[in-house]
Amino acid sequence: MGKLHEECGVFGIYSSAARDVAAMAYYGLFALQHRGQESCGIVVNDDGVFTAFRDTGLVEDVFTPETVRALGEGSMAVGHCRYGTTGSSDRNNAQPLLVNHIKGKMALAHNGNLINSAELREELELEGSIFHTTTDSEVISYIITKERIGAASIEEALNRAMLRLKGAYSLVVMSPTKLIAARDARGFRPLCYGRMPDGGYAVASESCALAAVGAVMTRDVRPGEIMVFDKNGVRSITEHCDKRDCSLCVFEYIYFARPDSVIEGSSVHNARLRAGSFLALEHPVQADVVVGVPDSGIDAAIGFARQSGIPYGIGLIKNRYIGRTFISPGQRTREDKVRIKLNPVAATVRDKRVVLIDDSIVRGTTCARIVGLLREAGAREIHLRISAPPFLNPCYYGTDIDSRDTLIACHHSVAEIAEIVGADSLGYLSVENVGKLTDNFFCKSYCTACFSGRYPTELPKKANKNRFEQKLSERSPGE
């Protein structure tokens, strides 16, 4: 649908006694489905015996009732749903990753993107490591395993590994006896944990997944923190905390996260309302109705309507039974996909001056088709307002923008983009106001590099999404 995609969602559950943790992981992943629709997987730990199932597809398609039952009961489980920002979309790249090493077993689920994965992978390959995937997540698993050989515990190995990992990573790691959550020192991607009714714990990319399994959120995992859940309770390792400024991706609030989630103490829903309010102040317009593009544009549309005094109306209906990965039959065009997924409500927009709120414009194709749908439904004017600044730069921390080539704002002015997508006017949220979307006492700064070009880290030497596949294809058949 021409939208940005985030890498994935991670989930973990720890119980003091054997129970149906596979079902709990399923519910958690279902709540995180918006973060990745390419593949998913669950690993269950029953007294040190790991049982796993992973495949491409949506959670409800991959995990049938029979599949979930086959995973059996256990005291721990790790789950993952993926949209790949490094590595191709095939079953081999599905997570969680399973590793058998000389000191035991490990399952790992990763959200984010390393900026030094190419260098680390080359180093490991020269030492004889054999990779089975083309993801940077496998690089992380190898680094942890390598450190585990000389470390007294899995958490000590992870603590050492974090000295070598650069970039974005929120991790859930499972050993035979422990569940571990860890977040990079800048906290690019969210991660939180909560208490289960039976005294166990759940870890998730977003608080909405905790609520889905009945857990009460305790707090976010701090940037740089390692949380250990085992028979002794909860322990926190903070050696890497407060070493870097927080760089949480601000687009989590604009688009990636579910509106009912709370990240770093701030409501995603309230942040989007505020974005709409700022838009109304920055780009006022005379209009009859405000319409939001489902789903993430709706909250911002409500905020715009409240601030401007222009009534909010339901102008687009989303087909809830079509996922982002649905395949259209025969020779159906991309335009057909938009028509199948979104339908205009003619009674709301006919003969009206419409303010259309969306969360972003990437290439402009999807936006143009939505504007076209409203024109066909009888809208007299369409004033497009975007609750994010223009995308001008690649992201290296877990969003699938690895080049400026396909970003419409890099090649056209605002007026030109408005003409291209068919809108009467166009206004973006300013970079200044995007940093004011939350009242956040825990994270004082955000990563806005895709808008501003101000990167919080050094830039990767190799940034192409499919860099590992390219490397393999460049080798001759005889090598």
Per-residue confidence (pLDDT) for residue 320, from 0 to 100:
77
pLDDT over 50 at 45, yes or no = yes
Per-residue confidence (pLDDT) for residue 275, from 0 to 100:
98
- Cβ proximity of 77 and 19 under 8 Å: no
Per-residue confidence (pLDDT) for residue 335, from 0 to 100:
53
What are 149's two structure tokens? Answer: 């050989």
Give the tens place of pLDDT for each residue, 237-278. Answer: 999 999 999 999 999 999 999 999 999 999 999 999 999 999
Give the tens place of pLDDT for each residue, 304-363. Answer: 999 999 999 999 999 877 654 343 333 344 456 677 789 999 999 999 999 999 999 999
Omega cis (within 30) before 295:
yes
Band of pLDDT at residue 477, cut at 50, 70 and 90: very low
CA distance 62 to 110: 19
- Cβ proximity of 343 and 278 under 8 Å: no
Nearest to 279 by CA among 294, 255, 295, 301: 301
Per-residue confidence (pLDDT) for residue 293, from 0 to 100:
96
CA distance 374 to 272: 23
- The H-assigned helical ranges of 104-188 are 117-126, 136-148, 154-161
Burial label, 142 (beta-carbon count in 10 A; 0-12, 13-18, 19+): buried
pLDDT over 90 at 69, yes or no = yes
- Strands 381-386 and 425-428, by their bridges, are parallel
CA distance 360 to 396: 18
Signed CA dihedral, 203, 204, 205, 206: sign only: negative
Band of pLDDT at residue 18, cut at 50, 70 and 90: confident
- Cβ proximity of 111 and 169 under 8 Å: yes
Per-residue confidence (pLDDT) for residue 461, from 0 to 100:
83
Per-residue confidence (pLDDT) for residue 104, from 0 to 100:
93
Higher pLDDT, 407 or 477: 407
Residue linked to tokens 């339901």 = 314
What are 366's two structure tokens? Answer: 């999807």
Q: What is the rounded average pLDDT for all residues in the chain?
A: 91
What are 194's two structure tokens? Answer: 């909560």
CA distance 433 to 429: 7
Span 66-92, mean pLDDT? 85
Give the tens place of pLDDT for each residue, 429-474. Answer: 999 999 899 986 566 689 999 999 999 999 998 766 555 445 544 4
Question: Which domains are seen in the chain, by residue range?
Answer: 8-247 (3.60.20.10), 269-439 (3.40.50.2020)
> Within its chain, how far is the Cα of 403 from the centroid?
19
Per-residue confidence (pLDDT) for residue 479, from 0 to 100:
43
Higher pLDDT, 356 or 402: 356
Per-residue confidence (pLDDT) for residue 5, from 0 to 100:
54
| Catalytic (active-site) positions | 8
- Cβ proximity of 264 and 248 under 8 Å: yes
* Element containing residue 283 per DSSP (H, E): none
Q: What is the CA radius of gyration of the chain?
A: 23
Give the tens place of pLDDT for each residue, 267-290. Answer: 999 999 999 999 999 999 999 999
Nearest to 175 by CA among 240, 227, 100: 100
What are 114's two structure tokens? Answer: 């390393």
Span 54-79, mean pLDDT? 96
- Cβ proximity of 382 and 350 under 8 Å: no
Per mean pLDDT, which range of 89-98, 122-131, 414-423, 448-457 is the poorest? 89-98
Per mean pLDDT, which range of 66-75, 129-138, 395-404 is the poorest? 395-404
Per-residue confidence (pLDDT) for residue 6, from 0 to 100:
55
Beta strand spans in 238-380 (E):
248-249, 262-263, 266-267, 289-292, 316-318, 342-344, 353-358
Per-residue confidence (pLDDT) for residue 224, from 0 to 100:
98
Nearest to 61 by CA among 33, 35, 85, 89: 33
CA distance 346 to 316: 9
What are 55's two structure tokens? Answer: 């495949």
Per-residue confidence (pLDDT) for residue 441, from 0 to 100:
56
Per-residue confidence (pLDDT) for residue 472, from 0 to 100:
46
Band of pLDDT at residue 402, cut at 50, 70 and 90: confident
* Element containing residue 376 per DSSP (H, E): helix 365-376
